Amino acid sequence: MSGYTKPETIIPENDEARLKKLRHYEILDTPPENAFDTIALLAAQIFDVPSAFVTFVDQDRVYFKANISDLKINEVRRDESFCSLAILDQQITVFEDTHAFPEFLTNPYVSAEGGIRFYAGAPLKTSEGFRLGTVCVIDSVARKPTAKQLNMLQMLSVIVMEKLESRIATRKILRAHDDRLHMLVHDLKNPMTSISLQSELIGRIPEMNDKAVMIAGKINQQSKNIVDSLNNILSAARDEHGNIKLVKTKVNLAAILKQVEANFGIILDHKNQKLNNLVIEPVEIFADAEKVKDIFENLIGNASKYSETGKEITISLTTTAHKVVVSIQDNGLGLSPDDLKRLFVKFARLSAVPTGRERSNGLGLSIVKMLVDLHKGKVWAQSEGKNMGSTFFVELPVK
């Protein structure tokens, strides 16, 4: 990179939103994972260098998710990392010889014996355009990479983002399973506890004969055994995935939709799409705010993903005394009759493909279904057919 001038600040203007997106992926300070280590190893082999990393640029540090090097640490200061510079550029950042740039000579990782002379980093870019980190390679000698090597590094950065998307989708679906399990167990425990207490009371009635008392005792014991088994199921679920359940409060559905609308600003601008949010007046329901937000982020994201540039998406709402129905209508690629049958099936591949080369892992709508089910609601879709747009409906109880 010739004629390079170090920027006055390494903090991009959208850093607050970028950091929020980074935390969404729940990747910071997580144990090593073979998939990311393999990608870093491939990068090192492609460039024939001793060191390669998958990094994420946090608020004050750069975290190494994968570390193929002699470094025994898993993070460095943000202001001392070349990855902090790499996320400022849409393209790959390359320094063939850091010693050719006087401003880098004071960097401790350059000035140290065997320090960085060569750096190449491909930014990890989300569909919204946020650059979260890099796949990067370094060496202690100057190098001139080939166009083929740089192109392969770019491809590895895309693979990392695919892994991040599938990883967070899997986590969400596991949490949804856990939430539904908690609700099922809770619904079963209440009547079983009641049966246990009633059978115990029956056994204490003075007029009861010995045989009836014996039967009541067996019912009581079996009921307690079932409750213990249900508690063990809950304990196992907590150990594996954490104690996750609905946290219901009074929430303003209009405010949640407004927040979701704001979160899609960059995506909609990128595709020159317009979101018409007709839900303006406050609408209170008893629900888990974060999970309701996840529902509509998935649906609005899909509406954008499967609509061409310049199209409109409309959110509207109808209410009754006991429920609300939110509709999300698009003018996109539409759904075939076969699509409508498989919409909410996990990993189902539908006939439509994203119009802007966005990523799709086949989990979004199944997650929506689970989250709606947790709220004892309904979700369905309507479409006149291919290229005729589609409308998704979410029905949620008010209480």
pLDDT of 177 > 80? The answer is no
Residue 193 has pLDDT above 80, yes or no: no
- For residue 49, count other CB atoms closer than 10 A to its CB: 21
Is residue 169 very low, low, confident or very high in pLDDT (cuts 50, 70, 90)? Answer: confident
Q: How many angstroms separate the CA atoms of 148 and 180, rounded?
A: 48
- Do 258 and 373 fall into the same domain? yes
The answer to whether residues 254 and 365 belong to one domain is yes
Q: What is the pLDDT of residue 339?
A: 84
The boundaries of the domain holding residue 55 are 15-145
β-sheet with 390-397: strand ranges across? 274-277, 312-319, 323-330, 390-397, 378-382
> pLDDT band for position 95 (50/70/90)?
very high
CATH number, domain at 117?
A: 3.30.450.40
Domain total in the chain: 3
Q: Residue 240: what pLDDT?
A: 42
The string of DSSP letters for 199-242 reads HHHHHT-TT--HHHHHHHHHHHHHHHHHHHHHHHHHHHHHHHH-
Q: Is the pLDDT of residue 235 over 60?
A: no
Q: Provide the pLDDT confidence category of residue 216 given band limits of 50, 70 and 90.
A: low
CATH number of the domain that residue 326 is part of: 3.30.565.10
Q: Does a structural domain hold residue 185? A: yes
| pLDDT tens-place string over residues 33-58 | 878 888 999 999 999 999 999 999 99
Which tens digit of pLDDT belongs to each residue from 283-304?
A: 999 999 888 988 998 899 889 8
pLDDT one-digit tens code per residue, 96-130 = 999 999 989 999 999 998 899 999 999 999 988 89
pLDDT for position 243: 45
Q: Is residue 139 part of a domain?
A: yes
The answer as to whether 24 is a domain residue is yes
37 plus 82 within the same structural domain: yes
Please tell me whether residues 229 and 254 are part of one structural domain: no
- Of the residues 201, 222, 241, the one at which a domain ends: 241
Question: Residue 154 domain-assigned?
Answer: no
Residue 73 has a pLDDT of 87
pLDDT at 31: 80
What 8-state DSSP symbol labels residue 163? H
Q: Is residue 8 part of a domain?
A: no
- For residues 253 and 315, state if they share a domain: yes
Q: Are residues 279 and 190 in the same domain?
A: no
Residue 323 inside a domain? The answer is: yes
Domain boundary among 241, 263, 292: 241
pLDDT in tens, 252-284: 999 999 988 887 777 788 788 999 999 988 899
**SS3 at position 71:** coil
pLDDT classification of 186: cutoffs 50, 70, 90? low
